[in-house]
Amino acid sequence: MTSSAVSEPARPDAARRPRVVLGVSGGIAAYKACILLRLLAEGGHDVRVVPTAAALRFVGAPTWAALSGHPVSDSVWDDVHEVPHVRLGQEADLVVVAPATADLLARAAHGLADDLLTSALLTARCPVLLAPAMHTEMWDHPATRANVATLRERGVVVLEPASGRLTGADSGPGRLPEPEAIAQAAVGLLHAGRADLAGRNVVVSAGGTREPLDPVRYLGNRSSGRQGVALAAAAAARGARTTLIAAPLEVPVPAGVRTIGVSTALEMREAMLEAVEGADAVVMAAAVADFRPDAVAAHKIKKSPDADVTDAEGPAVRLLRNPDILAELVARRPAGQVVVGFAAETGDASASVLEHARAKLARKGCDLLVVNDVSGGQVFGHETTRVTILCTDGRQLAVPAGSKHLAAHAIWDAVLKIAGNPG
């Protein structure tokens, strides 16, 4: 098997969807590959499924064809005139195998090519990602460990299996990682070889700030922090020195990223102003509260025991306006620093989503504004998104609906188009 470690990997062409070969070997976890396929396809990837004969005993070819939009075969003898056993690997931007059984790992490590999937693995000149799934005893066997070591030495990315319930009553390491985790690793691997942010220092904010009312309650918002975390992970994967200013998040912080935790808008402002010194690019993806209570109660605010239960009125809360962090960053930015803002908008009788966003871009003065249409509960907390990137010269880039990691890379692509050379 070959990989990016021994040859120049294929690079996705920006003018087309990245081509992914999704291999599926014969394990009970094959059904989870249906979810992975959907995530990759919704993320803007062109996915061809190549199952083994054993995998087709778990999930049939019509299912794979319906979900991918491509014909499915496990045989090198189908469509021979198109030479699929060579063409699939040559044309792929990424090959993912999930689940990768102990048998598949052994055949890949020893360079066997007795079906369409192993042939595609041998001809692949792109990154290869294998997600193992098997019983614990099989994963721990010296033969499997040696095969995994061989593959990793050749540059193949072999994920560690998860621990948990296996087939039957067994439990332990060997469970297929969740499809969302495999999809995130796949998208990161597609872009990791670019290193086009190497030598740059970037700062990203993420999450939703919380403004306390008392020791128990706070004013907050629905931001999960997924998009900001995806931006930080993408920047780090592309070689940037990355700092993440994180308000409360619903997702883990990415590896390889310096993280500073904050809670309130005032804490966010202080951390951002300090972190952006010397930064080449700043992305304000956090959902910062516009207002905060003018006073924070020292004790939990309680209902009066004498209050009429039919009385709908509660205590009045006076709000103070929080500082506009994005505007302040723009006003203070040194020459050459790129500042990106975010706008979560809904259309109304006065203007459309993009009209509101263009007005905000003009007010804030940032270089780029990333616009989300959040009407009807869209975007917040979801794995996928659809954004439009507005530029100060009037151009706009509509990013296709897909994963937030795919959107993150599109945003960094836009930043690089207007950024100067790293200092």
Active site residues: 221
Residue appearing with tokens 């190549």 = 50
d(CA 41, CA 70): 12
How far does CA 419 lie from the centroid of its chain?
23
Report which of 181, 189, 59 is spatially closest to residue 131, judged by C-alpha positions. Answer: 181
CA atoms in the 13 A half-sphere facing the CB of 270:
8
The one-letter code for the residue type at 131 is A
Task: Say if residues 338 and 423 touch (Cβ distance below 8 Å).
Answer: no
Task: Say if residues 422 and 336 touch (Cβ distance below 8 Å).
Answer: no
* Phi, psi of 388, rounded to the nearest 5 degrees: -120, 130
Report which of 422, 9, 388 is spatially closest to residue 191, judged by C-alpha positions. Answer: 9
Helix axes 142-153, 102-109, angle to 10 degrees: 50
* Phi, psi of 24, rounded to the nearest 5 degrees: -130, 120
d(CA 288, CA 270): 13
How far does CA 312 lie from the centroid of its chain?
43
Q: In sequence order, which residues have a C-beta less than 8 Å from that of residue 105 and are 6 or more positions away? A: 130, 132, 144, 147, 148, 151, 158
Task: Say if residues 99 and 176 touch (Cβ distance below 8 Å).
Answer: yes
d(CA 190, CA 127): 7
Give me Rg for the CA atoms of the chain: 25
Report which of 127, 85, 101, 108 is spatially closest to residue 30, judged by C-alpha positions. Answer: 101
d(CA 273, CA 269): 6
d(CA 210, CA 113): 56
Report which of 37, 41, 403 is spatially closest to residue 226, judged by C-alpha positions. Answer: 403
d(CA 53, CA 81): 21
